[in-house]
Amino acid sequence: MNPDIKICGLKTPEAVDRALERGATHIGFIFFEKSPRYIEPDLAGQLAQRARGKAKIVAVTVNPTNDDLDEIMSLVKPDMLQLHGNESPERVLTIKAVYNVAVMKAMSVRTADDLKRVESYIGIADRFLFDAKPPAGSELPGGNGVPFDWSLMTWLDDRVDYMLSGGVNKDNVAQAMASTKATGIDLSSALESAPGVKDLNKIDQFFDAFAEACVPQPATGSRE
């Protein structure tokens, strides 16, 4: 099975449309104000309308308050919340119960020990996302364009369903797929001409490389 592709940090109709045309299964909007990819919830809500029913809409948040979530849930109506901060298992449970939404818990990884934190979220988070730890001095918990050592993922329990993130690009997507059991690949900064500015050609080049790395899927339907 080929992995899902999440294109994150979208801010324009053109970028949303191109990601959808090329086969993104998930599109992500960033609600972290320090990010160059930050988008106001009402604009994200308008862009989400173009994608609804074609791809899953993911709202990326970092330690959100209930007020943040009230606004995002009512204006964007995402299919999934990505929690990219230090949200505890208890907080994840509360968010799921209050907002009745699927949660993807992001975990930052540098060493095999970092993967142990997953255990306390199993049965709580619907999916995981593994990203590199931010480089020193970065204000962003994600979207830094840096990979971690993907060979560490062999330490993870095979039953954990996860997206791989952090520095994925057209040149390493085949390696990301071959060296991990990720059921999804998530990327953002490799598709930009400047921080926060998606480049349609880079989106095309990425999907061309992804298609080359994919295993051909059996044709569906009957020949008769």
Ligand X SMILES: O=C(O)c1ccccc1N[C@@H]1O[C@H](COP(=O)(O)O)[C@@H](O)[C@H]1O
Residues in region 146-165 near ligand X by CB under 6 A? 165
Which residue in the shown chain puts its C-beta closest to ligand X? 143
| Binding of ligand X by 180 (CB under 6 A) | no
Dist CA 113 CA 107 (whole Å): 12
| Binding of ligand X by 10 (CB under 6 A) | no
What interhelical angle do 66-76 and 89-99 show, nearest 10? 40
| Binding of ligand X by 78 (CB under 6 A) | no
Is residue 214 part of the annotated active site? The answer reads no
Least CB distance from residue 224 to ligand X, whole Å? 44
Helix (H) or strand (E) holding 185: strand 184-187
| Binding of ligand X by 198 (CB under 6 A) | no
Query: Are β-strands 102-109 and 127-132 bridged in parallel, bridged antiparallel, or unpaired?
Result: parallel
* Type of residue at 124: I
34 contacts 140 by C-beta, under 8 angstroms: yes
Instruction: Give 28 or 221: the residue with its C-beta nearer to ligand X.
Output: 28
Nearest 5°: the CA angle 66, 72, 73 is: 85
Least CB distance from residue 130 to ligand X, whole Å? 9
Binding residues for ligand X (CB under 6 A): 8-9, 28, 30, 32, 35, 37, 60, 62, 82, 84, 129, 131, 140-145, 165-168, 186-190
